[in-house]
Structures are given as structure tokens and as C-alpha cells.
Structure 1
Amino acid sequence: MVFTHDTEVSLQAAVALVNTAEEPDGLQTLEELDAFYTRFEYTGRRDRDAAGLAAVRALRPTLRALLTADRDEAAERVNAMLAEASALPRLVRHDRWDWHLHAVDPDSPFVTRVVVETAMAMVDVIRADEHSRLAVCAQGDCEGLVLDLSRNRSRRYCSTTCTNRAAVTAYRERRRSP
């Protein structure tokens, strides 16, 4: 494990959320937002309305900018995000998770919790100087983000689809070469 469980889950959620903006858009309905909430085990308030969906969808470019920023710019963005949300870290324990950090009230809007949890996860990335674990997909025509939590830092593609497309392209190139 590179980071603590809450940091890893928050980073995975942020990358997954950003990648829903790729075609076809993967976050268009309240059901898709509910699935995201459940998949990444968020807790607290969930309004299940069009305004909440629109707010989370609108957050994607902000998170992309944070996750692709260099270390210094990311630190500035994290500080601004935490200040804007009046984040106050505290230790919590819930469901199957032992003690970990939350930095915003569970009654805050879901979008605020996503912002703060992502910013808190990026605190760990910045402090550990592990920015190289975040990248843009190596598949030429894809803009998806990659979170590489592997020990050997070998992950290059955002999805199985992009991995397979790259493998097929490489295979075809090998077959063409004499």
C-alpha cells in the first residue's frame, strides 16, 4: 500500500470522477451518481437531486486541474480548496473503516465532501512527493487520468479498453514489420 486506505480511495474516486467526462459521458443520471457514491463508500448527506448532479459534474474540470498540476501548483490549489470549504480535519471511524481523516461535516453537500476528500488525499501525495503516480493515459487519443498505485509504477492506461487498444496496435505494428 502506497498511501493509507482513505487516501487511496479518495484518489481513486477523484480519478474515476474526472474520467466520467470522457466520451461517452459516464455521469449523466442520478443513478450514475448514486453508483459513484456507493462504489467509493462515501458517507453523509446525499440529496439525490439534479442540482447535486450538476454540481458534481461541474467539479470534474477542477479536479482534473488539481490532479494534473505540478507539485507547487497542486499545493496552492489544495490550500485554496481546503480554505474555501473551511475544512477542519478530525479522526472518524465508521462502517468497516478504522480511524481515518474527514475534514468536512457529513451534512455538507456531497460536492463539498468530494472536493475536501480529494484535497486531503492530495496533501499526502504532495507531502510524499508521489505526483508521478498521477498521469494522463498513454493511449494517444485518450485524455483519461491514470492513478498508478502499483509497486513498480507500471500502469500507463486509464482503463482496460485503452490497455487493449494499445496492445492491438502494438500487435499490428509487429505483424507489419519484416
Structure 2
Amino acid sequence: MNDTVTTGGFRPARRLVDLANAVRANPDLPRAELVELLIRHGENPDDLTEEAFPPAHEEALRAAAARMAAVLAETDTDRAAHALNEILAECGARPRLTDHGGRHPWHLHVDRGEDADWADWFLASGALALAQIVTEYGRATWGECAAPGCTTLYLGTGPGSARRYCSTTCASRARVAAHRRRKRGEA
């Protein structure tokens, strides 16, 4: 389980958002898609065999992703911070460096140890990544897209004002719809 924390924690945070969105879209996300997503985010395929990543861990990881999706939908910084603290406490989060027996470069983990299951690892690393973002920006910079009909979660870690949409497509669509409503109201 690779948990490299980069500047601002964005790599694990992006993995978190992608997995949370995938599980929100399909709560029974098939193993192949779950494994592909983890590999895309830097996990070693050897760590995702059925022996290393058994079906019980798959289900627990899907549940952990759903739980983190609820945190990502929370835009009130105080409530989000309390939720993150609760998750970190439950996961026994104590920072430690690991190289997984020489298979990976040294990196930070905050789960219970080398025997932590995938769900524990995902909750701990996701909570740490979001906690780093709150620390860096002073607020929760994530949320659920404000476009009607879109429930995609996003990270808003760029410069400028607070983000409200998952993409420029949703932002444009919402602006055009608002403009058309105003025009109809004037007519």
C-alpha cells in the first residue's frame, strides 16, 4: 500500500476522491475496476492479488470509500475537521516511515502497521491527506459539485476563489442555465 504524501497531500487526496466517486457511482464496484483504480494511483499490482487483497478487504475498502465520500461532501471546515479527527483516532493513526520491506521508497504511513487492512490504510491515508489540505488552506477545499444533477466530488486546491463545480463543463452548464433563466424572467 503506497501512501506517499506529496506537497499538500494531493496524491493520496486525488486517489481518495477518485475512489470515493467510483464507489458512489457504483457501490458494488467490481474488483477489476477497483484494482485498476488503485494501480492507476501507484499501487503495485503484486499487492493486489487475491491473496494480498482478498474479497473481504475489497468490501471493507468500498465501505471506507463511502465513509470518506461523506467527509468529502462536508464543506463546513469545523465539521470536516472533527470527522477527520475521529477517523484518525479510530485508525490508531501514528506517523511512521515504511518501505514495505524494500519494495517501495520510504514514505509516510499513518495506519496501524504493516498488517493494517486496505480499509484501515485508506481511511488513515485519506484522512491525513484531507487534514493536510485543511492545514495548508485553512478550510475544507473540497465538496460536491453544485451543478444540478451532478454529484461528483472534487478537490479545490488551486488558486483563486473557492471551487463549487467538479469541472469547467459543469460550471459552464450551470452558468448557461442561470443565464437562460434570467433571460426568460426578463421576457
Which range, TM-score by smaller chain?
A: 0.7 to 0.9
Q: Higher mean Cα deviation, 166-175 or 62-71?
A: 166-175
Q: Is the 8 A contact 1:6 1:100 kept in 2?
A: no
Q: Is the 8 A contact 2:8 2:132 kept in 1?
A: no
- 2:34 is aligned to 33
- 2:79 is aligned to 73
- 1:11 is aligned to 13
- 1:127 is aligned to 135
**TM-aligned CA distance change 1:52 to 1:155, over 3 Å:** same
1:120 deviates by 0.9
Aligned pair 1:103/2:110, yes or no? yes
Q: Higher mean Cα deviation, 124-133 or 42-51?
A: 42-51
Amino acid aligned to 2:42: E
Residue by residue over 1:79-115, the C-alpha shift from the partner in whole angstroms, topping out at 9 and shown as x without a partner, is 22222222220234689x9764211224311111110
In structure 1, runs of 5+ residues without a counterpart are none
Amino acid aligned to 2:152: G
Cα distance between partner residues in 2 of 1:59 and 1:8: 19
Cα distance between partner residues in 2 of 1:93 and 1:151: 33
Number of residue pairs matched?
174
Q: Is the 8 A contact 2:84 2:127 kept in 1?
A: yes
Q: Is the 8 A contact 2:77 2:140 kept in 1?
A: no
Give the CA RMSD over aligned residues.
3.5
SS where residue 123 of structure 1 aligns? Answer: helix
1:66 deviates by 1.9
In structure 2, runs of 5+ residues without a counterpart are none
Aligned pair 1:20/2:22, yes or no? yes
TM-score by length of 1: 0.74
Identity of aligned pairs, percent? 30
TM-score by length of 2: 0.71
Residue by residue over 1:55-92, the C-alpha shift from the partner in whole angstroms, topping out at 9 and shown as x without a partner, is 12212331122221522222222222222222220234
Q: From 81, 87, 91, give the equivalent of 1:85.
A: 91
Q: From 29, 45, 58, give the equivalent of 2:63.
A: 58
